[in-house]
Amino acid sequence: MLQHIRIAVDAVVFGYREGKLYVLLIRQKFGTEKAYWALPGGLVHDNEPLIDAVKRELQEETNVAVNYLEQLYTFGDDTARDSRNRVISVAYFALIDSSKTAIKAATDAENVQWCAVSEVPPLAFDHNLIISTAFVRLKAKLAYQPVGFDLLPQEFLFSDIENLYCTILQKDIDRRNFRKKIMSFGIVEETGTLSDKREGRPAKLFRFNKAKYKAMEKEGFHFEIKFA
């Protein structure tokens, strides 16, 4: 039997600022789901690698260029997930510093914005399911990958990384144990400078030591997090 199946890609792009985790959403310019917010994505071109397709769609719809995208899952069990055709979507997710990203509705999108993960509205297709699946993956990654490398600015307060972990895990962590353990790995180090925030006592700034992390990654990295 001749197949009439199309392949699409969708991107879950997470950002973090001011104690909240955000996801990048677009309002579609074309198609029957135009009235709904959705994840950036679209159909794969003939002879186009999947990773090239998702990078192209992000650029065309949000003006965002992402260096690293991780393949998440393939969504297609619901044969009616797209009312136009039978479409199987290969979803990817990425973590970026949203403060350094200039988003703009580009060629294929009517609007684009960051939306707090806790406030995501009903989306087109099965994109709510895709986001929840990505969020579960992100939580799991905390045990074996310091995700703050990509979500935080180059220099940050130690409280910033503590709050990031609390936000993603949706629980209060044992901050004393957290600081002791993560510093023992050597992947976070002091910069030797202080924050320029005017309120309160100036605090030390930190940065990630990517070379140290890369070396540990080869040996295996496990970070058990204790909760308050």
pLDDT in tens, 162-207: 999 999 999 999 999 999 999 999 999 999 998 876 566 778 999 9
> Do the beta carbons of residue 109 and residue 34 sit within 8 Å?
no
pLDDT in tens, 16-53: 998 999 999 998 766 555 568 999 999 999 999 999 99
**92: alpha, beta or left, given left = phi > 0 and alpha = psi -120 to 50?**
beta
Q: Is the pLDDT of residue 210 over 90?
A: no
In angstroms, rounded to a whole number, what is the distance separating the alpha carbons of residues 18 and 186?
26
Q: Average model confidence (pLDDT) for the chain?
A: 88
Q: What is the domain partition of the chain in residue ranges? A: 5-141, 148-219
Most confident of 27-31, 110-114, 128-132: 128-132
Question: Do the domains at 5-141 and 148-219 have one common CATH topology?
Answer: no
- CATH number attached to the domain at 148-219: 1.10.10.10
> Do the beta carbons of residue 51 and residue 70 sit within 8 Å?
no
5-141 fold: Nucleoside Triphosphate Pyrophosphohydrolase (3.90.79)
Q: Per-residue confidence at 87, pLDDT binned at 50, 70, 90?
A: confident
Alpha-carbon radius of gyration of the chain: 19
Looking at per-residue pLDDT, the higher value among 218 and 188 belongs to 188
Position 106 scores a pLDDT of 74
Closest CA to 116 of 40, 35, 201, 14: 14
Instruction: Average the pLDDT over 120-137 and give the result.
Output: 95
